[in-house]
């Protein structure tokens, strides 16, 4: 199409990296190819902290990935447990992405997400002025609010600077897009008694053609279960980042109250499976070993192609956020759970976007973060009702709502409209 608009996207991580934001941006970019000529500026594949030898020879690499132009910037390797190495890595991306912007040619729009925290927004502002383009700021997580919620930093000067710069990015944006109704409230609260930037609320999504319900007898689901000793078990699964924002180090203490030998009414042993990796994983593994929790299993991240099998292996899925995350972040793992037609064991604040969806659709049970008695009761309820029609109806309700309202096509079409109409200056929810 000769009349396609050009859009420059700052992605930080992009495929093949397994970061959730990278996957979202891949699906968004590829879904908008009919309307836009798209260039992505991202790091070389390095989500694990390790960089393949083929990306160590130059500072910049140009690639075409399924019709999307990518400019990859080399960054230093890092350890997720080492703050200094992570900061060095992020700053390298920030400054090299600015230089890469010069290589991107003329652009009509600049699109940036809130990753890395604060710097992602600033990249968008810089790109807006360098390219004389309209700027769309997609906030997946609010910072410094997220940092403050988990006490990652208590340095008031740094937190004030972070807030100043991210509010600046919001003001400079032609449109701010947030991923939940609660996050729209956070945006408005940032600008109380002042003009609120133009914004839209667009949910994240799942590609229902890639993740969908499978029969328990599916060969690959059975292979996954067999590989990790989950045959004929009732599996309560956590899948995703095992990091700072989920209070998992306390939730595992609740899980301890359901020791080896805990069974459903049909006689299935209950197993708690954690699939993924992150900064809290070692803490959980150590706790399991110290307390001899033999029915807790840790499983590495699955390849994207195999994710459908691991998700379908779970009978019930955790969807968890720590206290204080309401209006700050939105756990995208919910969409995969609903797409596989599984019920949700939620630990989410009332009024948070995903809690609202679960409550509106009756697709799971939720407890407030840090209400460990309620969490324990909800675990017990799922064990007591395993295999029941009530749980089956929960799962079906969540899946039906997702197919209607939360698919890739629905959300991507909203993004197209909001970007193309970013000049109109109307707030949309």
Q: Within a domain: residue 211?
A: no
DSSP secondary structure, 55-93, as one string: GSS-SEEEEEETTEEEEEE------TT-HHHHHHHHHHH
Whether residue 261 sits in one domain with residue 227: yes
Whether residue 250 sits in one domain with residue 188: no
Q: How many CA atoms lie within 13 A of 62 on its CB side?
A: 6
- On the question of pLDDT at 396 being above 60, the answer is yes
Whether residue 162 sits in one domain with residue 224: no
Task: Report the relative pairing of strands 5-12 and 296-299 from DSSP bridges.
Answer: unpaired
Tell me which of 124-138, 200-214, 282-296, 411-425 is least confident. 411-425
pLDDT at position 1 is 46
pLDDT at position 80 is 74
Q: Which of 35, 37, 38 is nearest to 10 (CA)?
A: 38
Q: Within a domain: residue 86?
A: yes
Whether residue 240 sits in one domain with residue 106: no
The percent of residues in the chain predicted with pLDDT above 90, rounded, is: 85
Higher pLDDT, 3 or 395: 395
CA pair distance 45, 47, nearest whole angstrom: 6
Q: Within a domain: residue 195?
A: yes
Tell me which of 138-152, 213-227, 364-378 is least confident. 138-152
Q: Within a domain: residue 426?
A: no
Whether residue 132 sits in one domain with residue 113: yes
pLDDT at position 303 is 86
Whether residue 290 sits in one domain with residue 162: no
pLDDT at position 429 is 47
Q: Provide the token pair at 126.
A: 């810089």
Whether residue 361 sits in one domain with residue 233: yes
Whether residue 233 sits in one domain with residue 101: no
Rounded average pLDDT over 162-174: 96
Whether residue 93 sits in one domain with residue 25: yes
Contact present, 159 and 151 (Cβ < 8 Å): no
Q: Give the H or E element holding residue 201.
A: strand 199-201
pLDDT at position 426 is 46
Enter the pTM of the model.
0.90
Q: Which of 280, 11, 295, 290 is nearest to 140 (CA)?
A: 11
Q: Within a domain: residue 429?
A: no
Q: Give the H or E element holding residue 36.
A: strand 36-43
- On the question of pLDDT at 259 being above 80, the answer is yes
Q: Spell out the residues 6+ positions from residue 164 whose beta carbon is closer than 8 angstroms to its own.
A: none
Q: Within a domain: residue 428?
A: no
Give whole-number Cα distances, 169 to 28, 92, 123, 126, in Å: 22, 20, 9, 10
What are the φ and ψ backbone dihedral angles of 64, each rounded to 5 degrees? Answer: -120, 120
Whether residue 84 sits in one domain with residue 30: yes
pLDDT at position 424 is 56
- On the question of pLDDT at 425 being above 80, the answer is no
How many domains does the structure of the chain reveal? 2
Whether residue 302 sits in one domain with residue 230: yes
Q: Within a domain: residue 212?
A: no
Contact present, 29 and 40 (Cβ < 8 Å): yes
Give whole-number Cα distances, 256 to 217, 253, 272, in Å: 30, 5, 10
Domain ranges, residue 170: 5-205+407-420
- On the question of pLDDT at 143 being above 60, the answer is yes
- Count the neighbouring beta carbons within 10 Å of the beta carbon of residue 302: 18
Query: Per-residue pLDDT tens for 26-59?
Result: 999 999 999 999 999 999 999 888 999 999 999 9
pLDDT at position 2 is 54
CA pair distance 363, 139, nearest whole angstrom: 26
Query: Per-residue pLDDT tens for 266-290?
Result: 999 999 999 998 889 999 999 999 9
CATH code at position 335: 3.40.50.2000
Q: Within a domain: residue 116?
A: yes
pLDDT band at 423 (very low <50, low <70, confident <90, very high): low
Q: Provide the token pair at 404.
A: 């209607």
Whether residue 157 sits in one domain with residue 249: no
Q: Spell out the residues 6+ positions from residue 90 whose beta carbon is closer than 8 angstroms to its own.
A: 116, 119
What are the φ and ψ backbone dihedral angles of 224, each rounded to 5 degrees? Answer: -60, -45
């Amino acid at each position: 199409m000769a009349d396609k608009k050009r859009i420059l996207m700052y992605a930080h991580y992009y495929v093949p990296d397994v970061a959730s934001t990278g996957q979202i941006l891949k699906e968004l970019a590829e879904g908008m190819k009919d309307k836009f000529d798209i260039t992505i500026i991202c790091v070389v594949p390095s989500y694990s902290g390790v960089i393949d030898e083929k990306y160590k020879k130059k500072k910049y690499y140009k690639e075409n990935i399924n019709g999307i132009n990518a400019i990859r910037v080399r960054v230093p390797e890092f350890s997720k447990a080492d703050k200094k190495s992570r900061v060095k890595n992020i700053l390298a991306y920030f400054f090299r992405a600015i230089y890469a912007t010069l290589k991107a040619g003329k652009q009509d729009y600049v699109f940036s997400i809130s990753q890395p925290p604060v710097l992602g927004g600033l990249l968008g502002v810089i790109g807006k002025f360098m390219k004389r383009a309209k700027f769309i700021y997609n906030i997946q997580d609010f910072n410094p609010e997220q940092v403050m919620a988990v006490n990652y930093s208590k340095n008031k000067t740094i937190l004030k600077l972070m807030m100043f710069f991210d509010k600046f990015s919001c003001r400079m944006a032609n449109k701010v897009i947030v991923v939940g109704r609660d996050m729209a409230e956070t945006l408005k609260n940032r600008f109380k008694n002042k003009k609120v930037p133009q914004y839209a609320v667009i949910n994240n999504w799942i590609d229902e053609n890639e993740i969908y319900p499978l029969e328990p007898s599916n060969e690959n689901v059975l292979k996954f279960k067999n590989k990790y000793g989950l045959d004929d078990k009732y599996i309560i699964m956590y899948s995703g980042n095992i990091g700072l924002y989920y209070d998992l180090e306390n939730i595992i203490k609740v899980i301890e109250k359901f020791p080896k030998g805990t069974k459903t009414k049909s006689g299935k042993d209950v197993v708690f499976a954690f699939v993924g990796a992150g900064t809290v994983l070692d803490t959980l593994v150590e706790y399991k070993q110290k307390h001899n929790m033999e029915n807790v299993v840790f499983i590495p991240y699955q390849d994207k192609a195999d994710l459908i099998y691991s998700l379908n292996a779970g009978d019930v899925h955790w969807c968890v956020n720590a206290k204080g995350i309401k209006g700050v972040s939105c756990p995208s793992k919910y969409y995969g759970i609903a797409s596989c037609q599984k019920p949700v064991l939620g630990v989410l604040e009332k009024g948070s976007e995903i809690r609202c969806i679960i409550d509106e659709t009756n697709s799971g049970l939720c407890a407030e973060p840090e209400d460990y008695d309620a969490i324990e009761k909800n675990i017990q309820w799922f064990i007591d009702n395993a295999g029941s029609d009530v749980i089956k109806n929960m799962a079906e309700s969540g899946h039906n709502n997702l197919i209607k309202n939360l698919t890739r096509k629905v959300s991507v079409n909203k993004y197209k409209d909001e970007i193309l109409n970013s000049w109109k200056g109307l707030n949309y929810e």
